[in-house]
Amino acid sequence: MWIVLILASFLAALISGAAGFGGALLLLPVITYYIGAEAAVPVITLAQLIGNLARMASGFRQIKWSAVGWFCLTALPLSALGAFGFTVLPKDIVTRCIGGALILLVVFKMCKLFELKGSRATLLIGGAVTGGLSGLAGSGGPIGAAVFLSLGLSPVAYIASEAATAVAMHALKTVVYSKLASLTIETLLLGLAMGAAMVAGTFAANRFIRRMEKGRFQTFVAVLLCVVGLYMLIFGA
């Protein structure tokens, strides 16, 4: 079991390290199969905390701290609130709603019907939505990715800045989940091992994104957002 989950964590980090999101969505079905839904979200949260620390460190000098600050202003309290309610609301419905919203955002952007603007209002609203959904379903990252994509950052700055917000949210959620979920020493060690695998995957992905031109990178992320959104819409939690 451990070998499968560690390998899955490495592969998930390769993708999320290049796109800025997607780790939880890829890991959740696999880890739920092995340890059950109750422990899955807290364990993934711990693993992602470690993995996002690596993504943040890989581009630390290019982090747009002003955007991170405005985003976290609403993301942190809403992620804590969402974490308290994650065992109450139906995650399947929440996940499908996230998927539908992602597809609409990308379609509207491509058709120029609607476009997220890199403003404080976008960061505040996006932070609130991302934080709440992340706490509830463990998969609010793609919404945050769409918000940071609107800032027009370079690939490295985009990845590191989004990761900085994820670190703050995952750290807070880890504290909340530790009070709500019955985490054993084994599942805690599993989360740490998966996090270490995600660090390796992140640094492997970093070599890829540093070579990618910004326009192509934004197209790559937009396509991946659509794929992830379609998956969430069809399969749910």
Q: Quick one: pLDDT at residue 88?
A: 65
| CB of 145 closer than 8 Å to CB of 221 | yes
User: pTM of the full predicted structure?
Assistant: 0.75
| CB of 217 closer than 8 Å to CB of 208 | no
| CB of 47 closer than 8 Å to CB of 9 | yes
| CB of 52 closer than 8 Å to CB of 163 | yes
**Sequence spans of domains, the chain:** 2-235
> What are the pLDDT digits (tens) for 65-94?
999 999 999 999 998 888 777 656 666 776
Q: How far is CA 160 from the centre of its chain?
A: 12
- Average pLDDT value for the chain: 79
> Percentage helix, strand, coil, to 5, in the chain?
85, 0, 15
> What are the pLDDT digits (tens) for 122-161?
999 999 988 887 777 666 677 788 888 888 888 889 889 9
Q: Quick one: pLDDT at residue 139?
A: 61
